Structure 1
Amino acid sequence: MRLETLATLLSVCSLAACGTTPKEEDPDWWKHATFYQIYPRSFQDSTNDGIGDLQGIIDKIDLFPDAGVDAVWLSPIFDSPQVDQGYDISNYTDIDSDYGTIEDLQKLVEEANARGVKVILDFVPNHTSDKHQWFIDSVNGVEEYRDYYIWANAKTGDDGERLPPNNWISMFKNSAWTWNEERQQYYLHQFASAQPDLNYRNPKVVEAMKDVLRFWLDRGIDGFRIDAVPYLFEDPDLQDEPLSNSTGYNSTDYEYLDHIYTKDLYDTFDMIYQWRQVVDDYTKENGGSTRVLMTEAYTDADKIMLYYGTADGSRLGAHFTFNFNLITDININSTAEDIASSINKWLDGIPEIYTSNWVLGNHDNHRVATRLGPGNIDGLNMVKALLPGVAVTYNGEEIGQEDGEVSYEEGQDPSARDPAIFDQVSRDFERTPYQWDESVNAGFNTGAKPWLPVSEKYLETNLQDEKESNGSSHYKVYQALAKIRSDPILVSGDVEVKAVDEYTLLVKRSNEEASLVVVFNVGDAEVTVDVSADVAEDNSVKIASVDSSREAGSVVDPASLKLDAHEALVIAS
Structure 2
Amino acid sequence: MDSDGDGIGDLNGITSKLEYLKDLGVTAAWLSPIFKSPMVDFGYDISDFFDIQPEYGTLEDFRALIKKANELDLKIILDFVPNHSSDENEWFKKSVKREKGYEDYYVWHDGKVNAETGEREPPTNWLQYFRGSAWQWVEERQQYYLHQFAVQQPDLNYRNPDVVAQMKRVLRYWLNEGVAGFRCDALPPLFEVRPDVQGQYPDEVVSGATEDTEDRDYLTTTYIENQPETIDMVYQWREVLDDYQRIHGGNSSVLLIETYSPAWFTMQFYGNRSVDGAHLPFNFNLITVMEESGLSASNVQKAIDLWLQNMPAGRTANWVLGNHDKRRAASRHGKEHIDAMNMLVMILPGASVTYQGEELGMTDGQISWEDTVDPWGCNSNPEIYEKYTRDPARTPFQWTNGTNAGFSTGSKTWLPLAADYETINVATESETEHSHLKIYKSLVALRRSLKTLQNGSTKYAAITEDVFALKRSLSGDASLVYVSNFGTADVTINLEEFDKTLPASLQLLVRSLESNKKEGVGYATQDLLLSAGEALVLSTE
The interval holding the TM-score normalised by the smaller chain is over 0.9
Query: Larger deviation: 331-340 or 138-147?
Result: 331-340
Question: Which residue of the partner structure matches residue 527 of structure 1?
Answer: 491
Question: Which residue of the partner structure matches residue 251 of structure 1?
Answer: 213
1:322 corresponds, among 252, 257, 282, to 282
Asked if 2 retains the 8 angstrom alpha-carbon contact of 1:241 and 1:257, the reply is: no
Note the C-alpha offset of 1:244.
Answer: 3.9
Distance in 1 between residues matched to 2:63 and 2:250, nearest whole Å: 17
Asked if 1 retains the 8 angstrom alpha-carbon contact of 2:263 and 2:306, the reply is: no
Distance in 2 between residues matched to 1:293 and 1:398, nearest whole Å: 24
Query: Larger deviation: 105-114 or 430-439?
Result: 105-114
Query: Larger deviation: 76-85 or 458-467?
Result: 458-467
Asked if 1 retains the 8 angstrom alpha-carbon contact of 2:7 and 2:409, the reply is: no
Distance in 2 between residues matched to 1:217 and 1:336, nearest whole Å: 42
Distance in 2 between residues matched to 1:536 and 1:300, nearest whole Å: 40
Question: Which residue of the partner structure matches residue 148 of structure 1?
Answer: 105
Note the C-alpha offset of 1:335.
Answer: 1.9
Deviations 1:230-266 (A, max 9, x none): 1111123142233143242333221122222111111
Question: Which residue of the partner structure matches residue 537 of structure 1?
Answer: 504
Question: Which residue of the partner structure matches residue 517 of structure 2?
Answer: 550
Note the C-alpha offset of 1:536.
Answer: 1.7
Question: Which residue of the partner structure matches residue 289 of structure 1?
Answer: 251
Secondary structure of 1:506's counterpart equals strand
Q: How does 1:165-244 map to 2 (within 5 A)?
A: 165-237=123-195, 238-244=200-206
* 1:212 maps to amino acid: V
* 2:169 maps to amino acid: D
Q: Does 1:73 align with 2:6?
A: no
Asked if 2 retains the 8 angstrom alpha-carbon contact of 1:436 and 1:444, the reply is: yes
Note the C-alpha offset of 1:308.
Answer: 1.4
1:411 corresponds, among 349, 369, 372, to 372
Question: Which residue of the partner structure matches residue 229 of structure 2?
Answer: 267
Count, aligned residues: 527
Question: Which residue of the partner structure matches residue 498 of structure 1?
Answer: 461
Secondary structure of 1:329's counterpart equals helix
Secondary structure of 2:421's counterpart equals helix
Q: Identity rate of aligned residues, in percent?
A: 46
Distance in 2 between residues matched to 1:92 and 1:127, nearest whole Å: 11
RMSD (Å), alpha carbons: 1.2
Distance in 1 between residues matched to 2:235 and 2:206, nearest whole Å: 30
Asked if 2 retains the 8 angstrom alpha-carbon contact of 1:241 and 1:258, the reply is: no
Distance in 2 between residues matched to 1:178 and 1:473, nearest whole Å: 50
- Larger RCO, structures 1/2 (Cα 8 Å, 6+ apart): 1
Q: How does 1:375-454 map to 2 (within 5 A)?
A: 375-417=336-378, 418=380, 419-454=382-417
Distance in 2 between residues matched to 1:125 and 1:448, nearest whole Å: 36
TM-score, normalised relative to structure 1: 0.90
Asked if 1 retains the 8 angstrom alpha-carbon contact of 2:51 and 2:59, the reply is: yes
Distance in 1 between residues matched to 2:326 and 2:169, nearest whole Å: 31
Q: Does 1:473 align with 2:430?
A: no
Note the C-alpha offset of 1:155.
Answer: 1.1
Q: How does 1:49-128 map to 2 (within 5 A)?
A: 49-128=6-85
Gaps of 5+ in 2: none
Asked if 2 retains the 8 angstrom alpha-carbon contact of 1:501 and 1:529, the reply is: no
Secondary structure of 1:57's counterpart equals helix
* 1:353 maps to amino acid: G
Note the C-alpha offset of 1:494.
Answer: 0.7
TM-score, normalised relative to structure 2: 0.96
1:515 corresponds, among 479, 482, 487, to 479
Distance in 1 between residues matched to 2:213 and 2:113, nearest whole Å: 20
Note the C-alpha offset of 1:333.
Answer: 4.1
Asked if 1 retains the 8 angstrom alpha-carbon contact of 2:204 and 2:223, the reply is: no
Distance in 2 between residues matched to 1:288 and 1:542, nearest whole Å: 37
Asked if 2 retains the 8 angstrom alpha-carbon contact of 1:283 and 1:290, the reply is: yes
Question: Which residue of the partner structure matches residue 39 of structure 1?
Answer: none
Q: Which runs of 4+ in 1 moved over 6 A?
A: none
Deviations 1:515-562 (A, max 9, x none): 011111111111110013534225311111111112211100110001
Deviations 1:408-437 (A, max 9, x none): 110111011122221111000000000111
Secondary structure of 2:188's counterpart equals helix
